[in-house]
Structure 1
């Protein structure tokens, strides 16, 4: 949040809202939209400026503080939605997320069309932050949305509808965010209200996030206070949400006394195993079950699909792709009940077609109780899955790029290493090459990728012999080139060694920091 046209401030919010309002008017004769905001600095002000732009263009505003980010997409009767939040970013950040009427974040053609309308409506027309409070047509549907959300949670077949009753103690942290009231209600509905222990120092929403360097459960030391609370209370399980409660994390104490913080990929396959188990228990047709993951997430879900017979789908990074793809699958007769990505994001439809950390928490508690009743801890269940489907280990990392032009030059040099692509990475042969920047996939007969191609973004995915797959891409929000490397092997040691070997080869052969100026983390 700073001055400048590439920052969140009054001007850029008004400009974005005016462009969005213009596009909404062109799409619907009697438009209505929902506008939500979280507890971050200036979130309410930015939301009110957004609402003012809509009201001025005759668009009915459904306005209010959204306790959970995913709730902005619960009700599809609205033409569009805006959520003011920066999720798990540092305290000085904020953001502007746009949803369409199907409850998903926007994808083409809406994103490009809205961007064009913004360019055509740059002169700010309304600065009145009080207009939404004076407008008689504005509706404040927070209770309506919240009640609908919990009603949907109560019917979730892989969650509360399972009606598990095993006692389970856990520590919970909302990470200075908005999730605690929702988690209390979830715990109470599950009969666990007396067994949930909040982290008191992180329980109250605080936009300064005073006890953590970054309000992201994935970050090192982010769960230190939760672990200290669990140790003090003798509790072996920790649940966490990020500040806007759309992401979910968990940790479990091992018999050795150490804490295992589950990765996003590990939670992803644990949820998938639970979904599959419930589906089978209900006697449903497995071939109609579809589970999705983003292209940078673990391939273990794909291995599970090959073994079990459900339909695996891969999308680009981000729930705007996962959610929209799930809707398409549902229209085609599939039950696209679950999707995830490695950045601790999990979707359980039909509640919302977006990541939802509260729904994920309810499903996690359900499956943990079920496995505890069967005599397994969550970590023991994960080990069972590895033994059945193979061990999948990652060596994810990134390089900081000093200039966007250097990023382009690095990827251009990679593409010149072979014709049409390199033969090897290190000592491993390349068996598949997919470049979503130029639009090439060696595994498809016509060489045209199934996933969307964008010349404005850099993204290459490679499969190597002996069970290694990796994706390298330029971040769309940070000056980074990211590497997602995964190896499948018969033991965790072999899998880790394989992933690390490829990481070193890519650094040496592709990214060459000493020559290119890229900087390791």
Structure 2
């Protein structure tokens, strides 16, 4: 947040809102927008400026009256045309952001994103700076309680979560990372009869995030305080959400005394195994069950689908793709019970078609209680899954790029290593090659990718012999080139070694830091 047209400030928020308003008026007969915000610096102010822009354009505004509750309202858009959420999720304290949802409850994808961007360019002159307008306008709707109650009513019916009616005692530490999740987690714990067994840490919303260096549960050390608290209290489970409570993380104490922090992929397949178990227990046709993952997430879900018979589908990175794809599959008769991506994001339909850390927490507690009743810890259950479907280990990393031009040059050099693509990486032959920048896929009959192609982004996915698959892509939000490398094998050690071998080969053959100026973290 600072001055400038590429920063979050009053001007850019008003411009974005005016552009969105203009597009909604052209697309929707009676447009309405639901607006939510979190606890970050200036979030409430930016949300009020957004509402003012909508009101001035004659658009019905539904405004979240409290930070945590506003989060829910922005995702459950109901009969509204769009939703806006003011948040920077798990970014550093100095950041903020502006997320746009369409009327289907999903983050916007083409053509809406490009059309809105064009309308913003056509409406740059700020028309209304009145922060107090939303408080004075009698037409503003504030359905906070109704939306929150509807959200929890949906959670109670979630067959893989609160709908299971599991009743085993379970102690856990929970940290919302000084974000907005605590009030929701208290209600979850109470609904599950665990209100007396939850220990909050870093619980008070604070935009400065005073007890964590970086408010992201994925970051090394982010759960240290929660784990230390669990140690003192003799508790073996730690749960966490990021500041806007849409991501979920967990850790479990092992018999050795060490703590295992689950990766996003590990939680992803644990949730999937629970969904399968509930589906089979209820006698449903598993061929109608669909579960989704992003293309950079573990391929273990695909292996589970091959064994169990449910429908698997992958999308581009991000829940805007997962959510919209889920809706399409639902229209085609599938029960899309679950979707995830490796960046600790989990979606449980039909509550919201987006990642939801609160729903994920309720499902995690449900399955952990069930497995405890069966005599398993969560880590033991994960080992069972590996033994059944194979071991999948990742070697994910990134390179910091000094300049966007360098990133383009690096990817251009990769494409020149072979025609239509290189034959090998290290000692492994390339089996499949998909380039979503130029629009080429060696595995399809017409050599065209099934996933959307974008010439404005860099993304290559490769399958190698002996169970390795990787994706390299340019980050859309940071000056980075990201590597997602995974190897499947008959043991954890072999899988880790395979992934690491390919990581080293890519560094040497493709990214060549000494020559390109790319830097490892």
Same-fold call, TM > 0.5?
A: yes
Q: What is the CA–CA distance in structure 2 between the aligned matches of 1:227 and 1:298, rounded to whole Å?
A: 26
Q: CA distance change for structure 1 residues 419 and 68 in 2, over 3 Å: closer, same or farther? A: farther
**Which structure 2 residue ranges, 5 or more long, are not aligned?**
none
- Provide the secondary structure at the position in 1 that maps to 2:461: strand
Paired position in structure 2 for 1:145:
147
Superposition deviation, residue 68 in structure 1: 4.7
Q: What is the CA–CA distance in structure 2 between the aligned matches of 1:65 and 1:207, rounded to whole Å?
A: 18
Per-residue CA distance 1:163-187 (angstroms, 9 max, x = gap): 0011111111111011111111101
Superposition deviation, residue 345 in structure 1: 0.3
User: What's the TM-score once normalised by structure 2's chain length?
Assistant: 0.99
Please provide the CA RMSD for this pair.
Answer: 0.9
Superposition deviation, residue 194 in structure 1: 1.0
Q: What is the CA–CA distance in structure 1 between the aligned matches of 2:399 and 2:445, rounded to whole Å?
A: 34
Superposition deviation, residue 64 in structure 1: 1.5
Give the conservation status (yes or no) of the 8 Å contact 2:37–2:70. Answer: no
Q: What is the CA–CA distance in structure 1 between the aligned matches of 2:247 and 2:145, rounded to whole Å?
A: 22
Superposition deviation, residue 59 in structure 1: 0.2
- Of 159, 162, 166 in structure 1, the residue corresponding to residue 161 of structure 2 is 159
Per-residue CA distance 1:398-428 (angstroms, 9 max, x = gap): 0011010110000000000000000000000
Superposition deviation, residue 76 in structure 1: 2.5
Give the conservation status (yes or no) of the 8 Å contact 1:67–1:179. Answer: no
Q: What is the CA–CA distance in structure 2 between the aligned matches of 1:410 and 1:236, rounded to whole Å?
A: 45
- Provide the secondary structure at the position in 2 that maps to 1:393: strand
Matched positions, count: 519
Give the conservation status (yes or no) of the 8 Å contact 1:247–1:346. Answer: yes
Superposition deviation, residue 29 in structure 1: 2.2
Superposition deviation, residue 144 in structure 1: 1.1
Give the conservation status (yes or no) of the 8 Å contact 1:82–1:99. Answer: yes
Q: CA distance change for structure 1 residues 138 and 70 in 2, over 3 Å: closer, same or farther? A: closer
Q: What is the CA–CA distance in structure 2 between the aligned matches of 1:394 and 1:153, rounded to whole Å?
A: 32
- Provide the secondary structure at the position in 2 that maps to 1:149: helix
Q: What is the CA–CA distance in structure 2 between the aligned matches of 1:167 and 1:100, rounded to whole Å?
A: 40
Superposition deviation, residue 27 in structure 1: 1.0
Give the conservation status (yes or no) of the 8 Å contact 2:64–2:70. Answer: no
Give the conservation status (yes or no) of the 8 Å contact 2:71–2:85. Answer: no
**Which structure 1 residue ranges, 5 or more long, are not aligned?**
none
- Provide the secondary structure at the position in 1 that maps to 2:462: strand
Paired position in structure 2 for 1:74:
76
Superposition deviation, residue 70 in structure 1: 8.9
Give the conservation status (yes or no) of the 8 Å contact 2:249–2:262. Answer: yes
Superposition deviation, residue 32 in structure 1: 1.1
Q: CA distance change for structure 1 residues 500 and 88 in 2, over 3 Å: closer, same or farther? A: same
Per-residue CA distance 1:49-82 (angstroms, 9 max, x = gap): 1001100000011001455589552132000000
Per-residue CA distance 1:449-507 (angstroms, 9 max, x = gap): 00000000000000000000000000000000000000000011000000000000000
Superposition deviation, residue 281 in structure 1: 0.3
- Provide the secondary structure at the position in 1 that maps to 2:414: helix
Give the conservation status (yes or no) of the 8 Å contact 1:43–1:94. Answer: yes
- Provide the secondary structure at the position in 2 that maps to 1:211: coil
User: What's the TM-score once normalised by structure 1's chain length?
Assistant: 0.99
- Of 96, 100, 108 in structure 1, the residue corresponding to residue 110 of structure 2 is 108
